[in-house]
Amino acid sequence: MEFLRLIPFLILPVLAKMPPLITLEEHYLSSATPDAMKGLFKEQVKFVPNIMEKLKNLSSLRLADMDKGDVTLQVVSHAAGLGSYPANYSRAANNQVYQAIKKATGRLAGFATAPMSRPAEAAVEFRRAVTELGFVGALVDNHDGKGGYFDGEEYDAFWAVAEELDVPVYLHPTWPSDDMAPRFQGNFDSIASNSLGSSGWGWHADTGLHVLRLFASGLFDRRPKLKIIAGHMGEMLPFMLQRIERLSGRWSTTQKNFTTVYRENIWITTSGVWSLDPLRCILASTPIDHILYSIDYPFTSNEVGLAWFKELEASGLVSQEELDAIAYKNAEKLLRVKV
């Protein structure tokens, strides 16, 4: 009996153990990146200390930063903007990540970047990165650089690779194209315009829209096993879900409705949004095995993410099992990796 009373004390420290963390929206900048592209980060350079140094580093600086945030495995992907350049830039970038993964002995994995402005070549590079370099999926810019999205038939070869190789595609926000930019300008400073078009609002809304466009085009009927990841707590979709479900019933003739697509084909990450409020909404609407921890390094720090994760752990919002799922188990399953 004495022994039985001790059991909770023996078990509790084990339960309170922090799970390992896998992160999926973690960027770098290839040394083969065109100079014109580096200018895109001028706002971040102003506000995030040492951002360029961190973006370019795939070795000890990155690994030390991972240690600071208790990140066990980081899935590396290129920063936004490369998809509008010729395929050789994507190839060079993916090859650099491949070399870094080999050196980092189990700490890094890769999401392919692809020249989305050239759909046929994007499909070829995506396949090469997964089959020859061992990448675990792709992370691509949200449009082709000129505002073209990927619901057109010319992208079917690209989506076919994802379905056939059973790897996810992370739709990642990118800057407004020239025709989109004016709608973010107004009676305010250009710093506000740039932010409104990008991380301050616009590119998140645009990525959520893209998911809905893919749905409207019937892509998930044609490719029922497709796995799409949306970062930043789901790019506004979870909050709008009820309205989308109700109104999208009027759109067309897709066999699977949006409720089913949302449950079966969409995964979301926590990247760069450090509040429990959106997560409360997500936990109510999203299957628990489709919610993944992520940072958005180096645009936000691994330490900030870890502080949020500890807040989540202490909040009582999720059970230990759910916490483990969000931290690493869902990612292990989705990406077929092990930590």
Ligand X SMILES: *[C@@H]1O[C@H](CO)[C@@H](O)[C@H](O)[C@H]1NC(C)=O
Tell me which residues touch ligand X (CB under 6 A): 32, 56-57, 59-61, 86, 88-89, 92, 245, 249, 257, 259-260
Q: Smallest distance, Å, CB 86 to ligand X?
A: 5
CA torsion, ordered 72, 77, 79, 84, to nearest 10 deg = -170
Q: Distance between CA 42 and CA 46 in Å, rounded?
A: 7
Q: Smallest distance, Å, CB 259 to ligand X?
A: 4
Per the CB < 8 A criterion, the answer to whether 223 and 255 are in contact is no
Nearer to ligand X, 72 or 259 (CB): 259
Per the CB < 8 A criterion, the answer to whether 46 and 252 are in contact is no
Q: Smallest distance, Å, CB 115 to ligand X?
A: 11
Which residues make Cβ contacts (< 8 Å) with residue 103, sequence separation at least 6?
59
Q: Distance between CA 288 and CA 300 in Å, rounded?
A: 24
Q: Smallest distance, Å, CB 116 to ligand X?
A: 16
Nearer to ligand X, 59 or 131 (CB): 59
Nearer to ligand X, 226 or 331 (CB): 226
Nearer to ligand X, 92 or 180 (CB): 92
Q: Smallest distance, Å, CB 88 to ligand X?
A: 4
Phi-psi region of 134 (alpha: psi -120 to 50; beta: other; left: phi over 0): left
Hunting for tokens 């003739």 — which residue is that?
A: 253
* DSSP 8-class letter at 177: P
Q: Smallest distance, Å, CB 250 to ligand X?
A: 11
Q: Smallest distance, Å, CB 195 to ligand X?
A: 28
Nearer to ligand X, 32 or 165 (CB): 32
Q: Smallest distance, Å, CB 256 to ligand X?
A: 7
Nearer to ligand X, 177 or 259 (CB): 259
Q: Distance between CA 58 and CA 63 in Å, rounded?
A: 8
Helices (H), 16-86: 35-38, 42-47, 51-56, 60-68
CA atoms within 13 A on the CB side of 140: 33
Q: What is the largest CA-CA distance in the chain?
A: 74
Nearer to ligand X, 59 or 185 (CB): 59
3 state DSSP class of 323: helix
Nearer to ligand X, 35 or 153 (CB): 35
CA atoms within 13 A on the CB side of 118: 17
Q: Distance between CA 339 and CA 337 in Å, rounded?
A: 7
- Across the chain, the runs of DSSP E, i.e. the strands, are 21-28, 71-78, 108-110, 138-141, 169-172, 228-230, 266-269, 291-292
